[in-house]
Amino acid sequence: MGINIHDPKLSFFGGHSGLELEQRMRRTLLVLLGMAGLMAFAQTSLKAENPWVRLVPGPVSGAFMTLSNPSDRAIRVIAAESPIAGKVEIHQTTIVKGAGGTDVMQMRPVQFLEIPARGKVELKPGGYHIMLMMLKEPLQEGKIVRITLRLEGGGALVVEAPVKAR
């Protein structure tokens, strides 16, 4: 059986003809496809520019990059992970006054890193960074380190960062 949408006697939509109904359904489908496209865009709009991992001999290193958010909503990075590290944290380096009034660099984990709408956040030595801890093997210059940034709301950004001596 099935419904013949070309049947002019059908009146689901207040007396529209079958042809109008079909056009309306096509438009609805296009709108739905468009929305799906926008949702996919929202998940991947965050970009990482110039990512790199600092070559160090020890079991702890930092990853740096510029995160840019071309979307009109703020994006929060809430966690990070990497197959080369047993533990990964988002850190912020700050300058605090130490004993005797000298400036001391200190770093601490942050709950999230927010990239404002149409804005950028630079992760750099002395500022925000991705702390790679409990490295499973020594870093090698030029080797690519894969880092997954987990975003609030369920999205993720996979970053491929080469190891550099800087």
H or E, element range at 85: strand 85-97
Distance CA 92, CA 149 (A): 16
- CB-nearer residue toward Cu ion: 91 or 150: 91
Smallest distance, Å, CB 60 to Cu ion? 8
Give the count of residues interacting with Cu ion (CB under 5 A): 3
Smallest distance, Å, CB 131 to Cu ion? 4
Residues in 116-135 at the binding interface with Cu ion, rule: CB under 5 A: 131
Residues 6+ positions from 40 with CB-CB distance below 8 Å: none
Q: What is the CA radius of gyration of the chain?
A: 25
Identify any residues that bridge with 68 across adjacent strands, giving them in sequence order.
47, 120
- CB-nearer residue toward Cu ion: 25 or 105: 105
| Closest-approach residue to Cu ion (CB) | 91
Smallest distance, Å, CB 35 to Cu ion? 40
- CB-nearer residue toward Cu ion: 62 or 157: 62
Span interacting with Cu ion, options 46-54, 94-102, 105-113, 115-123, rule CB under 5 A: 105-113
Residues 6+ positions from 50 with CB-CB distance below 8 Å: 65, 66
Q: Which of 118, 69, 112, 74 is nearest to 92 (CA)?
A: 112
Position 107 contacts Cu ion (CB under 5 A): yes
Position 54 contacts Cu ion (CB under 5 A): no
Smallest distance, Å, CB 107 to Cu ion? 4
| CA 138 to mean position of chain CA atoms | 27
| CA 74 to mean position of chain CA atoms | 11
Q: Which of 85, 90, 91, 151 binds Cu ion (CB under 5 A)?
A: 91
Which positions touch Cu ion (CB under 5 A)?
Answer: 91, 107, 131
